[in-house]
Amino acid sequence: MPNNRMDIGRWRGGSCVAFVTRTMNYIIRKMAISDYDEVRRLWGQTEGIEIDESDSRESIGIYLKRNQGFCFVACADDSVVAAVLCGHEGRRGILRHLVVKREYRGKGIARALIAESLSALEKEGIKKCNTFVLDENIEGRRFWEHMGWYVLRDNYRTMQMPTFRDK
Ligand SMILES: CC(C)(COP(=O)(O)OP(=O)(O)OC[C@H]1O[C@@H](n2cnc3c(N)ncnc32)[C@H](O)[C@@H]1OP(=O)(O)O)[C@@H](O)C(=O)NCCC(=O)NCCS
């Protein structure tokens, strides 16, 4: 029995993929800086996503320029309804800030966005991809586990240092 998430069709043309499902149509395309306002609004409205100064327009502009072809948005009903940031440092891919607008969840959009990013990384020769999930984001963790992602190690901390410091 077909379900709501089953694709009726999908077409790849130019730089985007169009999906037709039983309940909606959407496209996935590369994220551009002109998407910033809509994507930033989506991040701000979404539980489990932590925003900081690295999510300013300027910083995201730097990120997109450096990671061209790895970051994607999904668009439906004339607006951006989902997004993912992805990039790599030559060894590992890093996927961040995956969000799907609440009304558009459960339709396979996150799965399709992840597939685009992983496929772009694979073409670049990157063998593995990491993501970060807040400990308290229980649903997010369940999602990644359902998608086959595994906790790499739980015995280390991510440590950080600002690049700008008083000299
Ligand atoms: C997590 C999130 C991105 C999922 O988006 P989505 O478009 O609804 O996901 P999809 O429809 O592509 O689902 C893909 C699969 O994951 C499953 N899934 C979706 N949400 C899930 C959850 N919370 N727990 C377990 N499985 C989940 C779906 O059932 C589907 O399974 P199937 O394809 O094997 O049948 C979305 O709920 C969201 O934006 N959450 C808030 C932000 C967040 O937590 N982001 C991820 C961590 S940074």
Whole-angstrom Cα distance, residue 85 to residue 63?
9
> What is the average pLDDT across 85-102?
97
> What is the average pLDDT across 94-120?
96
pLDDT band at 13 (very low <50, low <70, confident <90, very high): confident
* Closest residue to atom 40 of ligand 1, CA basis: 99
How many helices and strands (H and E) does the chain possess? Answer: 4, 7
Query: How confident is the model over 128-160, as pLDDT tens digits?
Result: 999 999 889 999 999 999 999 999 877 788 898
| CA gyration radius, the chain | 16
Residue 42 pLDDT:
97
Q: How close is the Cα of 90 to the center of ligand 1, in Å?
A: 28
Look up residue 85 and give its two tokens.
């940031």
Which residues sit with their C-beta closer than 6 Å to ligand 1?
Answer: 46-49, 98-100, 105-111, 133, 137, 139-140, 142-143, 146-147
> What is the average pLDDT across 71-88?
98
Look up residue 59 and give its two tokens.
């910083």
Q: What is the pTM for the complete model shown? A: 0.93
Residue 2, pLDDT above cutoff 80: no
Residue 72 pLDDT:
98
Residue closest to 18 by CA, chosen among 8, 32, 28: 28
Q: Are strands 92-100 and 128-131 parallel, antiparallel or unpaired?
A: parallel
Whole-angstrom Cα distance, residue 44 to residue 42?
5
Residue 69 sits at the vertex; the CA angle it makes with 63 and 72, to the nearest 5 degrees, is 80
Tell me what percent of the residues of the chain surpass a pLDDT of 70.
94
The dihedrals phi and psi of 163, each to the nearest 5 degrees, come to: -80, -25
Residue 1 pLDDT:
36
Residue 77 pLDDT:
95
pLDDT band at 162 (very low <50, low <70, confident <90, very high): confident
Look up residue 147 and give its two tokens.
């998608």
Sketch out the chain's domains with CATH numbers: 7-146 (3.40.630.30)
Residue 55, pLDDT above cutoff 70: yes
Residue 6, pLDDT above cutoff 90: no
Residue 151 pLDDT:
92
DSSP H or E run through 57: helix 57-66
